[in-house]
Amino acid sequence: MPLYEHIILARQDVTAQQVEELSTQYKDVIEKHDGKIVGDLEYWGVKTLTFRIKKNRKAHFAMLRIDAPPAAVVEMERLERINEDVIRFLTVRVDQHDEGPSIMLQKRDRDERRSRRDRGEGEFDAPEGVVEEPAAEKTAL
């Protein structure tokens, strides 16, 4: 069966729990058409949109990795067009699914580590393969 990555943008008024319920609803549609969701739902959080979409400045972003026949994807997209909470969606056919978290989740983890480091919370190790050099001390003239 073909592989897809599907991104959902939901209105900012809904809660994260409601976005997960939407995803569960679409997961059921995929499974009824002999497809399956690979991995878990990736909830990317609320992000600011570059431009307004249906009078919304922000949206909840979520991604599904799908292994299903095209008819299942068509039915899921039809239901998303009807739903008022979904403001946009995008389905992309891929050759294979990447292992591990998506780029967006990796970026969020990196940003969280950076902000904790800047605040001075906890110990942080350098990423594997990166050698940290001690900072040069400044001397007064």
Segment 14-39, tens digit of pLDDT: 998 999 899 889 999 999 999 998 88
CA distance 75 to 34: 12
Q: For residue range 41-90, list pLDDT tens digits in order.
A: 888 889 999 999 999 999 999 999 999 999 999 999 999 999 999 999 99
Please identify which residue in the block is written with the tokens 């001390």. 137
Most confident range (mean pLDDT) of 73-82, 96-105, 118-127 is: 73-82
The reported pLDDT for the residue numbered 11 is 93
Q: Does pTM surpass 0.75?
A: no
Q: How confident is the model at residue 139 (pLDDT cuts 50, 70, 90)?
A: low
Provide the 8-state DSSP code for 121: -
Which domains, ranges and CATH numbers included, belong to the chain? 3-95 (3.30.70.60)
What sign does the CA torsion over 93, 98, 101, 106 have? negative
